[in-house]
């Protein structure tokens, strides 16, 4: 899968969050703030690295801002934008 | 990682007479009945025979945790009455320096009554518990006190990890390369141990921020370091204070290397026993040590690089290499990468206490303090924990590294640094 569609990216993100945080995928809702899901600095970086590896992008080198990290949906939007600006 | 910690513990017992341990103190707002606690501990002892295990080796030299099949094993409980909170803390401090009575003792309790309140202190052997496991164990005691069930045994059984040696050797190579890079360049600030003698004690200083102060620190962290970046924010403040300390008290300047312990359990995993830790290592440049913004940015980059390179898991895998050697030999092997890499202080920030109940039995918990004893290297540790939205700072150091007064100064400078950040 090349993750060019917004839905594919959101699905991938939910998968990775579920694996890294060890929570069931159904609990990974798109509109829940990341800190409510149980993220800390390390798990957040782990998700970014997993997404970078799977989507072949370098998120850390983009201008990520605080709003991009608020929810899974916001992060999926951002990744979609980065992926399609290549 | 158990084996690495077991080896660290061996060094500690050999040099200081006592092993690495964690101490947790629960300050209660009312008096806890000693007989109730004793009964709960008896029940926990029956339900968790793993508590009375010890490391043994099989004929093929593979280590295992030998659990006694029967015997009248009990968790030690002392009961005292003192006049003040300071006296209670002094008693707990003494507890942490009393060696275990035998090889199968890994946890002990002390109930201290002060007027109309009680403090429950527990010392946990690092061979069987890490910080989060200790909190989860206290939660099991709480459930027994509250008349709830706890399951027999524990899902602690892990495979012996004695296969896939090629994979572990590659992890070892990766770790060696990582340590070579970490120590390359300018000399690193570290403490010279005066003497590693049996009976060396540690000083600690505890400070709990108010709820308001904690909220302000969280806001400052988000502003200065970004969303979810509390850990690098606290480390940056700590590094700035330690850089000043080294400059003014030790008249030395240089880069700092800081091991940061990381809990590898997933959020839903509640394994009580054995260690689930790995470490990240940060090198903080001397030129950045006064500049919070640069430090935070560089730390985030180093965290990203170590996650990307898989250093945390490689360290866990590499430590399993030590299972092929007896502890005195693995101690020598393990010392190679660590001994050649000086460290400036150790650091941990546990932002969610694993003890989440508001009560202990039916007594309301006013606060929880995590008081870790210091591993041999580097001899000074700075730790943050958070409970009921209040942040607690613990500075702990071996007495032959810094003085009690210096521990107090480091603590008060760090408190000021965090209070005055905004």
CA atoms B337, B17, B375, B203: torsion sign: negative
Note down pLDDT in tens along chain B; length 422 residues. 455 555 555 555 555 555 578 889 999 999 999 999 999 999 999 999 889 988 777 766 666 788 887 777 899 999 999 999 889 988 988 888 888 888 899 999 999 999 999 999 999 988 888 888 899 999 999 999 999 988 776 544 455 555 666 777 788 788 888 888 888 888 888 887 665 556 677 788 889 999 999 999 999 998 999 888 999 999 999 999 999 999 888 888 889 999 898 887 776 677 888 877 788 899 999 989 889 999 999 999 999 999 999 888 888 777 776 655 555 555 555 555 656 678 899 898 887 777 889 999 999 999 888 876 655 577 899 999 998 889 999 998 888 888 889 999 999 999 999 998 86
Q: From the list B222, B267, B307, which residue is nearest A49 (CB)?
A: B307
B260's enclosing H/E stretch is strand B256-263
DSSP structure class, residue A32: S
B101 contacts chain A (CB < 8 A): no
In chain A, what residues touch B313 (CB-CB under 8 Å)?
Answer: none
In chain A, what residues touch B228 (CB-CB under 8 Å)?
Answer: 34-35, 39-41, 44, 69
Q: What are phi and psi of B53, to 5 degrees?
A: -85, 175
Integer distance in angstroms from the first to the last C-alpha of chain A?
A: 17
Give alpha helix (H) positions in B226-291. Answer: 230-249
Distance to chain B for A20, nearest Cα, Å: 7
Q: Give the distance between the most distant pair of CA atoms in chain A.
A: 32
Q: Do B267 and A38 touch (CB under 8 A)?
A: yes
Distance to chain B for A12, nearest Cα, Å: 18
Tell which of B132, B224, B228 to mutate to test the A interface (max A CBs under 10 Å): B228
Which of B374, B302, B303 lies closest to B343 in space, CA to CA? B374
ipTM: 0.84
B350 contacts chain A (CB < 8 A): no
SS3 of A7-25: HHHHHHHHHHHHHHHCCCH
Q: From the list A22, A39, A70, which residue is nearest B269 (CB)?
A: A22
Which of B346, B360, B348 lies closest to B135 in space, CA to CA? B360
pLDDT of residue B230: 93
Q: B378 preceded by cis ω (within 30°)?
A: yes
Distance to chain A for B162, nearest Cα, Å: 26
Using alpha carbons only, give the angle B417, B420, B422 rounded to the nearest 5 degrees.
120
In chain A, what residues touch B232 (CB-CB under 8 Å)?
Answer: 41
Question: Are residues B288 and B298 in contact, defined by beta-carbon separation less than 8 angstroms?
Answer: yes
B251 φψ region: left (φ > 0), alpha (ψ -120 to 50), beta (else):
left
A23 contacts chain B (CB < 8 A): yes
Size of the A and B interface in Cβ pairs below 8 Å? 52
Positions of E strands within B100-215:
107-114, 117-125, 202-208
Which of B109, B119, B124, B129 lies closest to B42 in space, CA to CA? B109
Give alpha helix (H) positions in B162-229. Answer: 165-183, 211-225
CA distances from B358 to B44, B114, B143, B364, B366 (A): 20, 20, 12, 6, 8
């Amino acid at each position: 899968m090349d993750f060019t569609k917004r839905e594919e990216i959101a699905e991938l993100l939910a998968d990775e969050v579920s694996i890294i945080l060890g929570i069931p995928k159904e609990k990974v809702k798109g509109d829940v703030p990341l800190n409510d899901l149980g993220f800390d600095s390390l798990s957040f970086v782990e998700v970014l690295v997993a997404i970078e590896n799977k989507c072949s992008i370098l998120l850390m080198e983009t201008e990520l801002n605080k709003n991009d990290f608020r929810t899974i949906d916001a992060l999926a939007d951002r990744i979609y934008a980065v992926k399609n600006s290549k | 990682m158990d084996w690495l910690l077991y080896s660290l513990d061996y060094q500690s017992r050999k040099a200081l007479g006592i092993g690495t341990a964690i101490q947790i103190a629960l300050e209660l707002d009312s008096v806890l009945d000693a007989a109730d606690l004793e009964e709960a501990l008896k029940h926990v002892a029956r339900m968790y025979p793993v508590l009375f295990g010890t490391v043994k080796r099989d004929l093929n030299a593979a280590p295992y945790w030998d659990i006694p099949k029967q015997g009248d094993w009990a968790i030690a409980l002392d009961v005292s009455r003192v006049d003040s909170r300071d006296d209670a803390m002094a008693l707990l401090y003494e507890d942490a320096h009393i060696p275990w009575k035998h090889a199968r003792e890994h946890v002990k309790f002390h109930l201290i009554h002060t007027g109309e309140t009680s403090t429950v202190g527990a010392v946990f052997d690092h061979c069987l518990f890490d910080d989060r496991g200790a909190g989860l164990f206290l939660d099991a005691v709480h459930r027994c006190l509250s008349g709830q069930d706890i399951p027999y045994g524990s899902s602690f059984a892990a495979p012996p990890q004695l296969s896939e040696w090629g994979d572990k050797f590659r992890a070892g190579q990766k770790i060696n390369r990582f340590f070579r890079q970490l120590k390359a360049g300018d000399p690193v600030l570290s403490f010279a141990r005066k003497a590693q003698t049996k009976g060396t004690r540690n000083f600690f200083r505890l400070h709990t921020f108010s709820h308001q102060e904690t909220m302000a620190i969280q806001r400052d962290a988000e502003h200065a370091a970004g969303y979810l970046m509390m850990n690098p924010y606290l480390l940056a403040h700590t590094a700035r204070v330690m850089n000043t300390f080294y400059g003014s008290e030790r008249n030395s300047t240089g880069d700092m290397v800081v091991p940061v312990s990381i809990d590898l359990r997933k959020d839903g995993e509640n394994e009580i026993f054995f260690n689930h830790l790995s470490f990240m290592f940060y090198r903080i440049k001397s030129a950045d040590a006064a500049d919070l913004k640069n430090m935070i940015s560089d730390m985030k980059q180093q965290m990203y690089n170590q996650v990307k390179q898989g250093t945390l898991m490689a360290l866990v895998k590499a430590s399993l290499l030590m299972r092929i050697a007896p502890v005195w030999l693995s101690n020598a092997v393990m010392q190679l990468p660590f001994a050649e890499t000086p460290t400036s202080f150790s650091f941990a920030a546990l932002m969610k206490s694993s003890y989440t109940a508001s009560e202990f039995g039916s007594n309301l918990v006013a606060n929880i303090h995590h008081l870790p004893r210091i591993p041999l290297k580097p001899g000074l540790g700075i730790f943050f924990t958070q409970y009921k939205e209040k942040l607690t700072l613990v500075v702990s150091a071996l007495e032959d590294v810094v003085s009690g007064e210096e521990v107090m100064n480091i603590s008060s400078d760090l408190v000021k640094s965090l209070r005055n950040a905004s």
